[in-house]
């Protein structure tokens, strides 16, 4: 997983938990309650009603009006601090608004009230992942999987934590489990490919990154990762193709042109490499990046020198003579050798 946290799974959970609504608060007062109990019951009912108003703004995985929804959720939590559903909804909304510390406060309050609240546990793992606290995030995702080992995102995020901790074997294992649950999990393929590269298994990396590209052919990160793996495997044609696809996505990136030049030079196409480096030079000058422009000018000179050396080496290579035709016995025999005269000698006293 890259640094940006996907909210897709969170919002699925959000939608499901939103259906719980008022959490079963009774509508009427029960006999034998004290005035304090009656007041608490009233607040619980009001909190549930306010939560319902917030959820009426929820549609297709998000709130239609974040400010209005947050105001309702704040009111619901104030009326009933133990209303876990309201706190969870507010935590996810706060995450979307990049208010991560406030979201963490809510999910920790939920886990104090309901330690087995799986959605809150998963969300705390996401927040800890975002905060780069990977060991703690691993603990949360592991607890989620102890409760339900069919959550592909928990495996995927724990695998990402393992990758950040350089535990690549564990990361690959978790990505594999995530893919078994969700074969169309693009991020799991991408991240497993990167983990294979970190371990030096570039062939496995190419396979995974190719699968990721079948799910998203426009992913710049995936194209660049596979191109890097191809370069390490000396598959310069494959790398050049990926760099060219990346250039289509980002045509003004001078660095991509320079990388294309390296791939073409690796395959011996110094003319193509020089042309790519020249395009990189033009783009760098247009960007006002003098340092990069100087580097690309150096590449152009280098490719010209290599092209010249290759041409001179080819010209200096002697032409090999034609091979002699071998005989049945395996010995070479010149083609111009005359055939022996097999006729019998003439009789004595007669001339031929």
DSSP assignment of 82-151: T-HHHHHHHHHHHHHTT-HHHHHHHHHHHHHH-TT-HHHHHHHHHHHHHTT-HHHHHHHHHHHHHH-TT-
Cβ contact 89:57 at 8 Å: no
- Range name among 82-86, 177-181, 270-274 with the lowest pLDDT average: 82-86
Rounded to 5 degrees, φ, ψ at 332 are -75, 140
Helix/strand number for the chain, H first, E second: 16, 4
Distance CA 300, CA 262 (A): 11
Distance CA 216, CA 222 (A): 9
Beta bridge partners of 325: 333
Quick check: 152 pLDDT over 80?
yes
Higher pLDDT, 16 or 314: 314
Instruction: Give, in degrees to the nearest 5, the angle at Cα 41 between 35 and 47.
Output: 140
Q: What is the pLDDT of residue 340?
A: 55
Q: What is the pLDDT of residue 322?
A: 65
Other beta carbons less than 10 A from residue 275's beta carbon: 17
Mean pLDDT of 230-240: 98
pTM beyond 0.75, yes or no: yes
pLDDT tens, position by position, 90-140: 999 999 999 999 999 999 999 999 999 999 999 999 999 999 999 999 999
3-class DSSP string for 248-259: HHCCCCHHHHHH
Q: What is the pLDDT of residue 169?
A: 97
- Range name among 149-153, 170-174, 231-235, 340-344 with the lowest pLDDT average: 340-344
Distance CA 197, CA 86 (A): 43
pLDDT above 90 covers what percent of the chain? 68
Q: What is the pLDDT of residue 45?
A: 85
Mean pLDDT of 167-193: 98
pLDDT tens, position by position, 312-351: 888 887 767 666 666 555 555 555 555 555 555 555 444 4
Instruction: Spell out a b/e string for 204-238, using b for 16 or more CB atoms within 10 Å of the CB, else e.
Output: bbbbbbebbbeeeeebeebbbbbbbbbbeeebbeb
Q: What is the pLDDT of residue 170?
A: 98
pLDDT tens, position by position, 72-86: 898 998 989 999 999
Distance CA 91, CA 109 (A): 10
Mean pLDDT of 246-264: 97
Distance CA 196, CA 307 (A): 35
SS3 at position 348: coil
Mean pLDDT of 194-203: 97
Cβ contact 91:106 at 8 Å: yes
Q: What is the pLDDT of residue 319?
A: 65
Scan for tokens 């691993």, then name that residue. 138
Distance CA 206, CA 194 (A): 9
- Band the pLDDT of 352: cuts 50, 70, 90: very low
pLDDT above 70 covers what percent of the chain? 79
SS3 at position 326: strand
Beta bridge partners of 58: 63
Q: What is the pLDDT of residue 46?
A: 85
Q: What is the pLDDT of residue 343?
A: 54
Q: What is the pLDDT of residue 351?
A: 42
Quick check: 280 pLDDT over 90?
yes
Whole-number mean pLDDT of the chain? 86
């Amino acid at each position: 997983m890259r640094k940006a946290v996907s909210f897709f799974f969170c919002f699925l959970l959000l939608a499901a938990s939103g259906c719980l609504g008022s959490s079963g608060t009774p509508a009427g007062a029960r006999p034998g309650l004290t005035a304090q109990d009656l007041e608490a019951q009233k607040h619980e009912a009001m909190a549930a009603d306010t939560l319902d108003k917030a959820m009426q703004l929820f549609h297709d995985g998000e709130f239609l009006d974040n400010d209005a929804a947050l105001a309702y959720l704040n009111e619901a939590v104030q009326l009933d601090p133990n209303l876990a559903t309201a706190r969870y909804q507010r935590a996810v909304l706060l995450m979307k608004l990049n208010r991560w510390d406030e979201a963490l406060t809510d999910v920790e309050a939920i886990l104090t009230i309901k330690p087995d609240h799986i959605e809150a546990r998963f969300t705390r793992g996401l927040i800890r992942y975002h905060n780069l606290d990977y060991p703690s995030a691993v603990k949360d995702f592991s607890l989620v999987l102890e409760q339900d080992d069919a959550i592909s995102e928990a495996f995927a995020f724990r695998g990402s934590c393992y990758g950040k901790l350089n535990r690549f074997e564990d990361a690959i294992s978790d990505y594999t489990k995530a893919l078994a649950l969700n074969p169309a999990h693009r991020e799991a393929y991408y991240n497993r490919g990167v983990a294979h590269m970190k371990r030096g298994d570039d062939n496995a990396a190419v396979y995974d990154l190719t699968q990721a590209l079948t799910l998203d052919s426009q992913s710049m990160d995936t194209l660049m990762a596979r191109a890097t793996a191809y370069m390490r495997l000396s598959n310069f044609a494959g790398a050049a193709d990926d760099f060219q696809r990346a250039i289509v996505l980002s045509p003004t990136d001078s660095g991509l042109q320079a990388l294309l030049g390296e791939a073409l030079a690796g395959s011996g196409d110094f003319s193509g490499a020089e042309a790519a480096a020249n395009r990189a030079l033009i783009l760098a000058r247009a960007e006002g990046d003098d340092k990069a422009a100087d580097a690309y000018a150096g590449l152009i000179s280098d490719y010209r020198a290599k092209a010249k050396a290759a041409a001179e080496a080819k010209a200096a290579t002697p032409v090999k003579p034609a091979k002699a035709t071998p005989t049945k016995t395996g010995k070479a025999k010149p083609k111009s050798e005359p055939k022996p005269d097999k006729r019998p000698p003439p009789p004595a006293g007669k001339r031929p």
